[in-house]
Amino acid sequence: MKKVTIYSADACPWCVRAKRLMDANDIKYDEIKLEFDSKEFDELVERTKMQTVPQIFFGDELIGGFPELQAIVDQGKFEEMIK
Burial status of residue 37 (CB atoms within 10 A of its CB: 0-12, 13-18, 19 or more): exposed
Domains observed in the chain = 4-81 (3.40.30.10)
- 39 vs 58: CA distance, rounded Å: 22
Q: Which of 35, 2, 31, 3 is nearest to 18 (CA)?
A: 31
Residue 20: pLDDT above 90? yes
* pTM to 2 decimal places: 0.89
pLDDT in tens, 22-48: 999 888 999 999 988 889 899 999 999
Distances in Å between the Cα of 51 and the Cα atoms of 7, 12, 54, 77, 82 are: 11, 13, 9, 26, 24
